[in-house]
Amino acid sequence: MIAYFKEILVGFWSLLAGMAVTIRYFTKPIVTVQYPREKIAMSPKYRGYPQLVIDPETQTHRCIACEMCSRTCPSQLITVEGAKFPGEKQKRATRYIHEHYYCSLCGLCTEVCPTSALEYSQEYRLAGFSREDAVIDHLLLLQQRQKAAGLPVTPVPTDADIAAAAAAEAAAKEAKAKAAAAAKKPAEGSEVKE
Amino acid sequence: MEMLASYLGTEVARMVVGLIGVIALVSVNALFLIWMERKVSAHIMLRPGPMEVGWHGSVQTICDAVKLMAKELITPEEVDRPVYYLAPVVVFLPVLLTFLVIPFSQSLIIKDLNVGIVLILAFSTLTVLAILMAGWSSNNKYSVFGAIRSVAQNIAYEIPLLVTVMSILLMVGSFKLSDIVAAQGRYWFILVQPLAFILYIICATAETNRTPFDLPEAESELVAGFHTEYSGMRFALFFLAEYTNMFIVSAVATVLFLGGWRGPILPGVVWFLLKVYALIFLIMWFRWTFPRVRFDQLVTFAWKILIPLSFANLLITAFLMKLF
């Protein structure tokens, strides 16, 4: 008889305990995000698609178009073109295309970059209407991000610029070669003179 | 409603106006309760629930109702047609009739019958008949299972329900709902009959076929139970009846245990509705807390615990009534 009532009381108490849990949750704040209207900030470690780092000193990218990333990419989805502009020591990227629909987010490109020019973005909204929406032009993206951050925008070199740079480069090379040849020639004969 | 009835001064006008009011109340109540159910369930799961249509999704259920009305009424080939067509009507009519005797306030009652509580209990049992008709005529094994469970469950909870109500009636000495409320002038009966209140709420949950006793429509095992084969407005009638039944059992609980329309400052109707919706919240709270019981668990619980306790409660009440 006592066991019977004890069972009822214990059972009833367990029911009340369950109801206490649900009412506690009922009064807690909502955790759901009303997505298109509300967005959550991603953690700094979030791995979105790779993007070019904005160098805090030069306020532009650090890409030297060495093509290490495009060579190491297992999906072969990175296209980098670069040119050497007059007055600059190193090459500079003129085109950086990332076909994100093939990307497996392995991060090898960011690992391999000798100038640490790549980082992971915080972007998680990757939906698009066509396949081409997932093709990221990094130099254009950089311009957008510079605009958003209020920094001076790095111009994307046009074909004419590249041609001019190439011509200037060729001319410089030729001049250098000539100079070297000129330096060589007299060097042979002048040894005697001087 | 009250003023118009006294102006016309006839019983017929009172009935007609009352029925129109009841139909309006039934539909608005169902729309509100579905919204409330979704909100309560959502907040218990830390979700916001419907948010898009109207303020906090308040118009959502109206859109759902319109969608249901626009849906095609599909009748499966081999159903028992007359019974199949009749079942949604049978489930809905007693629900409407029950509202005749519910006292919303001192004067806001369509017909204060002297067998009020008996009428409510008699008509609310008809729901089981409608469920049996729907399940049996659907020619679907899941529907039949739902119907069988509903009937067997009915025997299990109806006895403790009636016995529990009887212990209240013993204290009042009248079947009239307004008399029961009048008898709670000094204190609510929940204070002297807490066990009866708990037993009544458990039985009421079973009566309205709600979790943890929603065996007839157990959606995770029987598709949708007895209304699997119903679509469109026919399904909506079952749905409407379920939510209106919730209102009715809560209204009866309010009358029996919570002093009906009594309360300070606010008018009686407001107090009545506040108490009813508080009880409905309690029943919804059950739904999102307790898992569904197995069938043998339900029957064991009813016969071994509910019935002995309700009889003990009745005997003690009778003894104390004789004593004082």
Contact (CB, 8 A) for B292 and B215? yes
Same domain, A66 and A144: yes
Q: Kindly determine whether residue A26 and residue B289, on different chains, have CB atoms separated by under 8 Å.
A: no
Q: Which residue has the tokens 């095992």?
A: B221
Neighbour order of strands in the sheet with A78-83? A78-83, A92-99, A135-137
Which chain A residues are within 8 Å of B40, Cβ to Cβ? 26
CB B314 within 8 A of CB B167: yes
Work out how many domains chain B is built from and give that number.
1
Please name the residue of chain B whose CA is at the shortest distance from the CA of residue A31: B46
Task: Note whether residue A190 is domain-resident.
Answer: no
A177 has a chain B CB within 8 A of its CB: no
Contact B45 A25 (CB under 8 A): yes
A164 in any annotated domain: yes
User: Using the beta-carbon criterion (under 8 Å), do B309 and A19 form an inter-chain contact?
Assistant: no
Same-domain pairing of A20 and A112: no
User: Are B290 and A15 inside 8 Å of each other by CB?
Assistant: yes
The answer to whether residues A97 and A27 belong to one domain is no
Cβ contacts of B317 within 8 Å, gap of 6 or more: B167, B170, B171, B193, B196
**Are A14 and A86 found together in one domain?**
no
Residues A89 and A138 in one domain: yes
Tens digit of pLDDT at every position of chain B (324 positions): 666 556 556 777 777 887 888 888 888 888 899 999 999 999 999 888 888 888 888 888 888 888 888 888 888 888 888 888 888 888 888 888 888 888 888 777 777 778 888 888 888 888 888 888 888 888 888 888 888 888 888 888 888 998 998 888 888 888 888 888 888 878 888 888 888 899 999 988 888 888 888 877 777 787 777 888 888 888 888 888 888 888 999 999 988 888 878 778 778 788 888 889 999 999 999 988 988 888 888 888 888 888 999 999 999 988 888 887
The answer to whether position B14 is within a domain reads: no
Are residue A3 and residue A59 in the same domain, yes or no? no
Concatenated DSSP letters of B121-159 = HHHHHHHHHHHHHHHHHTT-HHHHHHHHHHHHHHHHHHH
Same domain, yes or no, for A104 and A132?
yes
Q: How far apart (Å, rounded) are the C-alpha atoms in residues B77 and B73?
A: 13
Q: Which residues of A touch B198 (CB under 8 A)?
A: 12
Asked whether residue A73 falls in the same domain as residue A122, the answer is: yes
Is B44 within 8 Å of A22 when comparing Cβ atoms?
yes
Choose, out of B36, B38, B43, B51, the residue to mutate when testing the contact with A (most A CBs < 10 Å): B43
Mutate to test the interface with B, among A16, A25, A34 (most CBs of B within 10 A): A25
**CA-to-CA distance for B276 and B249, rounded, in angstroms?**
9
Looking at the structure, tell me whether residues A101 and A132 fall in a common domain. yes
Mutate which of B37, B38, B41, B45 to test chain A, going by most A C-beta atoms within 10 A? B45
- Complex ipTM: 0.75
A122 and A74 assigned to the same domain: yes
Please tell me the total count of domains within chain A.
Answer: 2
Q: Evaluate whether residue A152 is within a structural domain.
A: yes
Report pLDDT for A159.
Answer: 77
According to the model, what pLDDT value does residue B1 have? 61
User: According to the model, what pLDDT value does residue A194 have?
Assistant: 47
CA atoms of B194 and B221, how far apart (whole Å): 35
Q: Which residue from A12, A22, A34 is facing B289, i.e. has the nearest CB?
A: A22
Over range A180-188, report the average pLDDT: 70
Half-sphere exposure of B316 (CA within 13 A, CB side): 12
Q: For chain A, how far is it from start to end, CA to CA, in angstroms?
A: 127
Domain coverage including residue B294: 71-323
CATH of the domain at A130: 3.30.70.3270
Cβ B283 vs Cβ B203: under 8 Å: no
Domain hosting A162: range is: 50-168
Q: Are residues A26 and A115 in the same domain?
A: no
Residue B204 CA to residue B193 CA, distance in Å, equals 16
What is the pLDDT, as a whole number, of residue A17? Answer: 92
Please state, in angstroms and rounded to a whole number, the distance separating the CA atoms of residues A57 and A152. Answer: 12
Residues 6+ apart with CB under 8 A from B78: B139
Q: Is residue B47 part of a domain?
A: no
Inside any domain, residue A193: no
Residue A185 domain flag: no
Average pLDDT over residues A157-168: 79
A183 has a chain B CB within 8 A of its CB = no
**Is residue A42 assigned to a domain?**
no
Distance CA B167, CA B310 (A): 8
Q: Please say if the pLDDT value at position A162 is more than 80.
A: no
Does residue B196 form part of some domain? yes
Residues B191, B305: Cα–Cα separation, whole Å: 22
Both A5 and A56 in a single domain? no
Please state, in angstroms and rounded to a whole number, the distance separating the CA atoms of residues A153 and A63: 15
- Contact yes or no for B305 and A8 at CB 8 A: yes
- B11 domain residue, yes or no: no
pLDDT tens digits, one per residue of A78-124 = 888 888 877 777 888 888 888 888 888 888 888 898 888 888 888 88
- Please answer yes or no on whether A30 and B289 come within 8 Å at the CB atom: no
Question: Is B36 among the domain residues?
Answer: no
Shortest Cα distance from A37 to chain B (angstroms)? 11
pTM of the model: 0.75
> Which residues in B lie closer than 8 A to residue A12 (C-beta atoms)?
198
User: Regarding beta strands A78-83 and A118-120, do their DSSP bridges make them parallel or antiparallel, or are they unpaired?
Assistant: unpaired
- Distance (Å, whole) CA B324 – CA B318: 10
Q: Which two tokens stand for residue B198?
A: 């708990």
Contact list, B278 vs chain A (CB under 8 Å) = none
Query: Which residue in B47, B288, B305 is closest to A32 by CB distance?
Result: B47
Mean pLDDT on A153-157: 80
